[in-house]
Amino acid sequence: MAWTLILAGLCEVVYAGLLKQTQGFTQPLPTALFLVAVVSSFVLLALAAREIPIGTAYAVWSAIGIAGAATVGIVLYHEPATALRLSFLVTPIGSIIGLKLATPT
């Protein structure tokens, strides 16, 4: 189920990246792609949550989305990539590791 969760996170990155392109949902193609990505992301998250504890699944899904959306913003939309911003992007990784270590097997 890990691959499903990773795919769900990547779909989240896609819809976050497309949000700006929809221009307030006035552009049909980006809006349609956004909707497909949103639905796909949540369906895949729900499938992953069947086998992975929801707290862990949601944390991983969110972390992929956070890091991915920030990367899309930096690469495609020329948002600042300061050392402080980049350092805060790694904090969700520590949280995920902590959740995994705290989850009984």
CA distance 58 to 68: 15
pLDDT for position 79 = 93
pTM of the entire predicted model: 0.84
Encode burial over 80-105: b for 16+ CB neighbours within 10 A, e otherwise.
eeeeeeeeebeebeeeeeebeeeeee
Q: How is residue 82 written in tokens?
A: 């300061």
28 vs 22: CA distance, rounded Å: 7
Domain of 80 in residue numbering reads as 2-102
| DSSP E strand boundaries for the chain | none
Q: What's the pLDDT tens digit per position in 36-81?
A: 999 999 999 999 999 998 988 998 899 999 889 999 999 999 999 9
Is pLDDT at 1 greater than 80 in this prediction?
Answer: no
What is the number of domains present in the chain? Answer: 1
